[in-house]
Structure formats: structure tokens, C-alpha cells
Amino acid sequence: MSKQPWWRGAVIYQIYPRSFQDSNGDGVGDLPGIIERLDYVASLGVDAIWVSPFFKSPMADFGYDIADYRDVDPLFGTLADFDRLIEKAHALNLKVVIDQVLSHTSIEHAWFRESRESHDNARADWYVWADARADGTPPNNWLSLFGGVAWQWEPRRRQYFLHNFLASQPDLNFHNPQVRQAALDNVRFWLDRGVDGFRLDAINFCFHDRRLRDNPPKPESKRVGRGFSPDNPYAFQYHYYNNTQPENLDFIRELRALLDHYPDVAALGEISSEDSLATMAEYTGPDRLHMGYSFELLTDEFSTGHIRETVEALEKRMHEGWPCWAISNHDVERVASRWGGNDAPAHLASLLSAMACSLRGSVCVYQGEELGLGEAELPYELLQDPYGIAFWPTFKGRDGCRTPMPWTAANDGGFTSARPWLPIPESHRARNVEQQDADPASPLQRFRSFMRWRKQTPALMWGDVRMLAAPAPVLALERQLDGVTLRAWFNTGNEACVLNVDDIAGFRVIEGHGLVAGELGETQLRLPGFGVLFAQRG
């Protein structure tokens, strides 16, 4: 077990700094607040924290628009606070992973302010600039994920610049070797401060097609994807040319070569492409990223068939890399609501977390998932997310998963002494940490129990995986390692069910994982609603 690198099989707890803990009474979470709550995180039994962006930023996209890669935004604290966070986390045996947003910057970054001034300054070619067509329209048909064209006119240069996201997030030109070196230098800065890894935001967006070819249209039947409003034209195209270019692999190898100079660090790439599973397999391996994750399990589609097909498709393609799974994060509706509906029972979240943590790979767990929190419903006038504001009411954006953590039942949830930047719904306060701490059957305590048991189960951490046949709504799988075979059945429905099972001789039921457990007979097993059964042979 000690020979495995820390990131293989790790559970990585994502912290959204704005919403974790406010330490100075301004209604926004910060780095000192994270430090204050790290003992709680350690008590969950996770292996690492992933801290979403805390860098200097105008906050047009809440930190994913970076104005200075090497400084902490005053809203969140100081570099000294970050150093204290590293020290405290390491003292608690928690690794620290931070976001790196390499493909684009804020419009307020000094690089862009210089680049936009002329065609011949030192950084004139650091961003993706293009002349207008003869009629003044943008150079091609590329679209922004946040709606509308992906090109913004800049009068100083009399050219358009590319933005795959907000117009205030201009894309860097990674075809320029100086840009690539600057990006690597920024990564090195944080490695030297002691971080243990990076979550690489939109890593397949670094390069664009040099020829700026138009993306082809996509048939209406195929216009699906995570977070797309029905009226978002982004889904109308195959995005063959504005991301996932062949040159990106060479940069990833450069990045990995840098990381390999530092002991025991890891890179996790966020990948969203036309075939994300294929890109995950291509981008991970000994000379590439350590891990990759995509949005296949972050969509509205929920069925045991979809999960099984996703895992099997990735396993067929990924021979050298290592997957990472996520069923919630700061960009999508919380999984309890997304897959269970508005009235989902609290212990459904416990089952779903255990299911994700039983797949081969590492896992990202989003803050509040351990409490069974559902999506918050916010009125239009309280929205902060530009994505939701642009596409209201057909798509309400990402604020509903970003509301502050409920630590207590108080109106402010114990999060702040001021008015929180987003309201904490009453349904969340009813599932607060303080209350769940005292309840041995709470989602929080079930989560802790499962994490303790998982760490003692090598087959679940590192074993090979095989998906087993089972009727919906049951997901069944098998993990094998060193002569031990572990089987698991997850009932994702609310009704109890009985299954006939073959080849179960020699298996014994495993208890102590903290979940609602089923029963195993000689030829049948019984699963309660939202229940699970683990059995082991060998």
C-alpha cells in the first residue's frame, strides 16, 4: 500500500473559497476561513483538498479570470495566509491541490493590457488576435460557452480577440513559445511554495486551430452537453477547431516534465471535448497528466446503464492513465437534486458518494456533498453568476451549487457574521454540520464511516474494475486486487429489490461501511431502497 503514490485512489475534497468559511465578516469566504475548518475536512477521511481559484482577479467569473497568477486576491487573504494553509494541511496529512487556469486570463491581466495596445509590442502575439472579415464580422463562426460569438472587437488594435468563455477572459496564444514558458513559470511558482498538485481548468482549450477554420454544424439531435441551456447556441457546433488541438499534447508533456522535477506531485486535467473519454485517455499517462476527469457523470442524465457504459468505455480506452471521477462540482447542479429530484432523501447522497468512490480511479468530492445538500433555489434578483443571468430562466446558472456551507442552524449558517454573498437556504441549514455531527445515522457520519472503510480496502482503492450485469435501478461492479475479489451492488431506487445472483459461492458480506446495507443469500440478494451490499472473496 505504501508504494502507491498519494493521488492514486485519493479522495480530493473540493473547497470553493467564497463559500466555505468567512473569517473577517465581509460575507465572503477566505483562506483564513479554510484554515479554521481544516480539522473538519481532515475528519472526513479524505486525502487532499482542491482549492478553487483564490488568485488576484476582478471576479467577473469568480476567480477563473486571473489578473495575477502569483498573488492572492485581497478578498481571500495574502500569500502568507496561503503558506499557513499549506502548513496546516500538511500537518493534518492533507495534500493541497490548487486550480491553474492556463488557457486564458482576465482582461485586466498586465499581459493583455500590453498586448491590446499595438501590433508590435513585446506581448503583441501573446493572445489570439485576428483581423475582421471584409464586412467587419468576426474571422470565423466560433462560439463562446457563455453564449454568443467567441470574438470581441478591440478598437486599439482594430482586431478581434478570442474568448472561449466570457468576453473578459481572453484566450492566450499557446502557439507562442514565450506564452508556454510563462505558463510553466507560473506553475513552478506554486510548486516552490509547496503545493502537491494542480487541477488544470479547461486544459484542452490551450491551443486553437492556426488556420481559424469554421466549426461544422451539429445536428439538432446531438445538441446535448453539461450545463447547456436549450437556447445556448454553443451546442449547435462540433467544437473541432477552437480546442483539443494536436499541439496540446506537446505542451502537456512539457508540463509533466516540469512536475517530474518535484517529488510526489500530481496534475488533474479538466477535459471537455467532443469525445471527452477519448481525450482523457489521450491526455493521461507516464509522460502526460497523472489524472483526467470529464463531465460524463456531471450531466443530468442518470441511469445505471449510463454509468456502466461510461466506465466500460473509458476502461477500454485508458490503458496507461488514471481516471478521476466527480458527480458534483462548482459548475453543475448538486447531485442530490440532479439525480434524485427536489425531494430526494438525505441518504441518497451517501449512496451516490459511495458509488463514485467505488469506481476505479480517484474521486473529487464537492463541499457539502457529505451533508447531502441539494441544489439551492435562488430568485433572479439574487443571482451572481453571469452564465445564469445570461440564460435565465431556461438555465439558472451555477449559483445554486455555490451557496455557503451550513455549519450551524443559525441564519448565517455559522459561515459569516455578515450577510453572506449568496443566501443559505433553510433546507441547507437544517442539514448543518453541527447537527449531523451529533447524529450517527446522518449523511455526514455515513460519509466518514465509508471513507474509513475504503482506506482499509485495497481492492477498492486500486483494484481492477469490471461492471456486472444488473437490472435497473441497480449498479453492480467488481474490483480485484492481489487475489481478493470485491463485489458491490448499489440500489439507486427508493424501493427494495431482490436480485438473483450467480457465482456467489465463497463470498461473505462486508459490514462496517456505514451505509444502509442489504442481505446476501445463496442465490439471491436483497437491497433496501438506496441500499448497498459489499461482498468479498479471498
Residue tagged 451505509 (cell numbers): 515
Task: Give the separation between CA 307 and CA 297, rounded to whole angstroms.
Answer: 7
- Encoded amino acid at 46, one letter: V
Contact 105, 67 (CB under 8 A): yes
The maximal CA–CA distance of the chain, rounded, in angstroms, is 78
Kindly state the DSSP code that residue 49 receives in the 8-state scheme.
E
Is 434 one of the annotated active-site residues of the chain?
no
DSSP string computed for 222-256: G---TT--TT-GGGGB--SSSS--THHHHHHHHHH
Query: From the CA atom positions of the chain, what is the Rg in Å?
Result: 23
In a 3-state reduction of DSSP, which class is residue 399? helix
Tell me the helix, strand and coil percentages in the chain, rounded to 5. 30, 20, 50
Cell of 146: 457563455
Task: Determine which one of 270, 282, 399, 412 is catalytic.
Answer: 270
**Do 299 and 226 touch, CB atoms closer than 8 A?**
yes
For residue 142, give every residue at least 6 positions away whose Cβ sits within 8 Å of its Cβ, in sequence order, or none.
149, 150, 151, 162, 164, 214, 215, 237, 241, 242
For residues 124 and 110, what is the distance between their CA atoms, to the nearest angstrom? 12
**Contact predicate 314/290, CB 8 Å:** no
CB 233 within 8 A of CB 147: yes
The answer to whether 273 and 279 are in contact (CB under 8 A) is: yes
State how far the alpha carbon of 156 is from the alpha carbons of 115, 116, 188, 431, in Å. Answer: 10, 6, 33, 53
Print the SS3 string covering 311-359.
HHHHHHHCCCCEEEEECCCCCCCCHHHHHHCCCCCHHHHHHHHHHHCCC
270 part of the active site: yes
- Cα 468 off chain centre by: 27
At position 92, the amino acid (one-letter code) is: L
Grid coordinates given for 75: 478578498
Q: What is the DSSP string of 97-130?
A: EEEE--SB--TTSHHHHHHTT-SSSTTTTSB-EE
Coil, strand, or helix at residue 397? Answer: coil
Closest CA to 385 of 218, 125, 145: 145
C-alpha cell at 97: 491541490
158: Cβ contacts below 8 Å, ≥ 6 apart:
none
Q: Which of 61, 201, 331, 385 is catalytic?
A: 201
Helix (H/G/I), strand (E/B), else coil: 485: strand
| Residue 425 neighbours by CB distance under 10 Å | 18
Active site residues: 201, 270
